[in-house]
Structure 1
Amino acid sequence: MMPSLVVLTDFFAVSNHALSYAAGLALPLHAQLTLLHIPQPELLAPSAYEPAGSYQAPPNRRQTSYALQLLAAGPPVLIDGAAPEDDLPDSLTSAIHAASPLLLVLGQPGSTALPAELMTTMAMTLLHRVAYPLLLVPLRGLDAFPPRRLLLAIDGLPFRLRPHQDVLRRLLQATQGTLDVVHITDDAHAATDAEHLLATLRASDLVPDLPPRRLHQVYQPAVTAGVLAEAARLHADMLVLLARPHSLLGNLFHHSATVRLLRDSPIPVLVLPVQE
């Protein structure tokens, strides 16, 4: 069965950039695209994160169908359309599980109709509800394609990949890309022995053996600033994060740091749900 990349779209954001980016990844990954329409994306935002401001009314069924046809007419890959309607969180979760995707794709909004914070919150909600890798595509920072310089941020704790989730390995093989790893330390979290970090990565089976020169330990009190600075220094064109089921990136990589990285990263962010 051909793997699927599921692109979530609402049409207010005019997320063609995310669809185009996903289509470009689908070709080397030998995957098809599945479009899932989200009629009211604000329903995926928990009240604690619900941004201020008003939203436009969702398009009617005819407008939705027409928009799906317009989006599907673009990329030269197979696209299946599915549109969850009532009880959005549950129906969307069911539709995603039915697609059994290799990757979920969300795009930052292209207009002020939906604030960027909502897309970030949607990403966090999806990570809690479905354990599939998720890619958040920014409006800009897409000049380097396909992504060949990936940067993985780790917290130094052991982890295991979920079954059948080897999208990072596939992506590196398909694009002949390279992977660097950054471990951020601060006054409360001392630098970890490099061999221990490398052994943790080997045990996870996330990627093949990582050369020691590809591991970088950086002192920076602000996790977000440290990760983004290292991404800029290495000219990375994709950032990779690990999402743990309870602590969400654990220790230094707590919930707010994850949100800030998703919101502020100028390059696409791939989030991999992992097991403890």
Structure 2
Amino acid sequence: MTPSLVVLTDFFAVTNRALSYAAGLAVPLHAQLVLLHTRYDGLPVPAGFGAHHTLHGEQQTDQALLRLAAEQTVPTEVDVAEGFLPEAVAEAVRRHHPLFMVLGRPSATTEATELLTSVVMDLLRHAPHPLLLVPAVGWDAFPPRRFLLAVDGQPFTFNDQDHQEVLSRLLQATQATLDVVYVTDDEYALPGADSVLETVRANDLVNTFAKSRLHEVYHSAVVAGVLEEAARQGADVLVVVVRRHSLLGSLFHRSVTAQLIQESAIPVLLLPAED
């Protein structure tokens, strides 16, 4: 079966850049694209799009999706779903078995970004699947050559082997490198470097991983520490392992994950895992 990348599209201007990024990754991954459009009112609607849920608007949307699919440089199909986004995504995952989902992150207003972040967190809880968030602006490197994995130092496992293989497949396809960062401060005494390293190796995220690529950052704020390390290394993609209880508590708690989604200047790959 040809692997696929499912791109969530609602015709924000940012979506075109996310779609281009997905199409670019699909080539070395030997994957096809699926444009998933949900007739869903939960996402922020830009000016001029308020009538797209009328019958006429829906017909225009369907036609625009087909034209957009035809314009892609890789095989692309369209999937239009009814109902709410988590259910539509869960069904799309069951039907298409994507390597990961792709979603553009708007930058127009704080309100739009916060609302989209809420939608992403809802997806992680109810339809957990690897999700790549692509900012509208602030990054230029493609294909990505430097991935930075942010961990909290605690053990984690993936409940799906396909989720476990996403990062290694991306690294191999783009011939990129991987570094790992974990943040310590006076409040959180994390395990030593060897223990943190073992959490990465134990999940086979990469075939081999050198200790020299593990970076401990001392910072009073987890998000700032991670983003500063990403900037220092010139990282192209930030990878975050989001365990289920991370959405509720712990060092990488819900607000930390949400801040990374909102503030990262580079694409963020979210990998859902068990506790």
TM-score, with length taken from structure 1: 0.90
The aligned counterpart of 1:270 is: 269
Q: CA deviation at 1:191?
A: 4.4
Letter in 2 for 1:90: E
Closer, same or farther in 2 for the Cα pair 1:14/1:229, shift >3 Å? closer
CA-to-aligned-CA distance 1:79-106 (integer Å, 9 cap, x gap): 1101111355423422332111101000
- Distance in 1 of aligned mates of 2:220 and 2:110: 35
Alignment check: 8 A CA contact 1:6 1:36 kept: yes
Q: Secondary structure at the match of 2:244?
A: coil
Closer, same or farther in 2 for the Cα pair 1:55/1:114, shift >3 Å? farther
Closer, same or farther in 2 for the Cα pair 1:227/1:76, shift >3 Å? same
The aligned counterpart of 2:193 is: 194
Higher mean displacement: 8-17 or 18-27: 8-17
User: Where does the alignment leave 5 or more consecutive residues of structure 1 unmatched?
Assistant: 44-49
The aligned counterpart of 1:108 is: 105
Letter in 2 for 1:3: P
Alignment check: 8 A CA contact 1:41 1:122 kept: no
Alignment check: 8 A CA contact 1:238 1:270 kept: yes
Give the percent of matched residue pairs that are identical in Structure 1 and Structure 2. 54
The aligned counterpart of 2:129 is: 132
Closer, same or farther in 2 for the Cα pair 1:30/1:114, shift >3 Å? farther
Higher mean displacement: 208-217 or 89-98: 89-98
CA-to-aligned-CA distance 1:151-196 (integer Å, 9 cap, x gap): 0000111112322221100011111110000010111112431111
Letter in 1 for 2:5: L
CA-to-aligned-CA distance 1:190-210 (integer Å, 9 cap, x gap): 243111111221111111231
The aligned counterpart of 2:139 is: 142
Closer, same or farther in 2 for the Cα pair 1:192/1:89, shift >3 Å? closer
Alignment check: 8 A CA contact 1:34 1:79 kept: yes
Closer, same or farther in 2 for the Cα pair 1:41/1:225, shift >3 Å? farther
Alignment check: 8 A CA contact 1:10 1:40 kept: no
1:77 aligns with 2:74: yes
Alignment check: 8 A CA contact 1:15 1:110 kept: no
Structure that is richer in helix per residue: 2
Q: Secondary structure at the match of 2:115?
A: helix
The aligned counterpart of 2:233 is: 234
TM-score, with length taken from structure 2: 0.90
Q: CA deviation at 1:224?
A: 0.8
Alignment check: 8 A CA contact 2:184 2:216 kept: yes
The aligned counterpart of 2:256 is: 257
Closer, same or farther in 2 for the Cα pair 1:134/1:163, shift >3 Å? same
CA-to-aligned-CA distance 1:106-157 (integer Å, 9 cap, x gap): 0013656981222222211111122210000001233111111000000111
Q: Secondary structure at the match of 1:36?
A: strand
The aligned counterpart of 2:202 is: 203
- Distance in 2 of aligned mates of 1:99 and 1:141: 31
The aligned counterpart of 1:56 is: 50
